[in-house]
Structure 1
């Protein structure tokens, strides 16, 4: 159910909040938001070997996120600024090794929200949610080898480097990290 926040901006139903952010779930109406995020080649150059995503690929990604939420109660949840209602990006989880209760952590922000601490804020909330609400055993994460910002983010969040492994969508070896509950600060 949509609501109006204290500034009069229409906001979305949320299930998780931080000081500045609200977490929602993707819906069919979010195609423009998905296109704004995954249609930006400055964002997708870090996650796609082509350096961009077509409209069909964006549509498939959105459908995949919605299906994952229905089936597994996780996705890379869309993020919104609490005061303005502006879309910031997404942060969340997807299955990695489900039988061992290990999920992959990820965050993608729109370019105009880079460098403002949103990724760290959202990441801390998702990590807490994963261990406190979903009873995960560990989180996995990786990043494009040339993305130093993502590397620093994962280190700030407390992830520990394990090894480089091939990441098919980007077509490169990616540094890979793990986070266990004892890493929570």
Structure 2
């Protein structure tokens, strides 16, 4: 059973723990979810363990992670959405969202991103939130436009080996 620290109309946000390897594997073991995150398009079991550990360490060290999110009504695991440190600048974070395909196109990403931006502003006193995305993934671009992020150029993203369109939201 997960405890929740933030909720929206349909989503509950929890925090990754070492006991969540099964959820991490369910999410990041799905090629549909990871095809735009990593150059190979898929995570190995070791990649998944490393990613989970990174999320746990980010929470411990910075008070943020790409938090696991759940459907309030059903309790189903939706995916993750949250923040991580960005560019080694204090109070600057990068936002990200990875959802199970079942939840694509139903407004969950938008709802989660809105909640995370509000959390970043109020709880973390963030001064800026960055957003980057794989050039072939149009959904994050739509979210960037919806939430009034400003395009700042393309930045090299080592995990994919590509230049990703990058945006920022000055708070």
Please list every run of at least 4 consecutive aligned residues from structure 1 whose deviation after the TM superposition is greater than 4 angstroms.
none
Structure 2 residue 19 is the aligned partner of structure 1 residue 29: yes
Relative to the length of structure 2, the TM-score reads 0.97
Relative to the length of structure 1, the TM-score reads 0.90
1:168 matched residue in structure 2 = 158
Structure 2 residue 77 is the aligned partner of structure 1 residue 107: no
Shift in Å at residue 111 of structure 1? 1.1
1:8 matched residue in structure 2 = none
Task: Quote the Cα distance in structure 1 between the aligned partners of 2:170 and 2:121.
Answer: 9
* Counterpart among 59, 64, 67 of residue 69 in structure 1: 59
Task: Quote the Cα distance in structure 2 between the aligned partners of 1:98 and 1:60.
Answer: 20
Gaps of at least 5 residues in structure 1 are 3-11
Question: Does the 8 Å contact 2:130/2:168 carry over to 1?
Answer: yes
Alignment of 1:33-182 (within 5 A): 33-181=23-171
Task: Quote the Cα distance in structure 2 between the aligned partners of 1:65 and 1:137.
Answer: 21
* Counterpart among 8, 29, 40 of residue 18 in structure 1: 8
Gaps of at least 5 residues in structure 2 are none
| The structure with more radius of gyration | 1
Shift in Å at residue 73 of structure 1? 0.8
Q: What is the aligned-residue RMSD (CA, Å)?
A: 1.0
Moved more, 18-27 or 145-154: 145-154
The CA deviation string for residues 70-89 of structure 1, in whole angstroms up to 9 with x for no partner, is 11110000000001110000
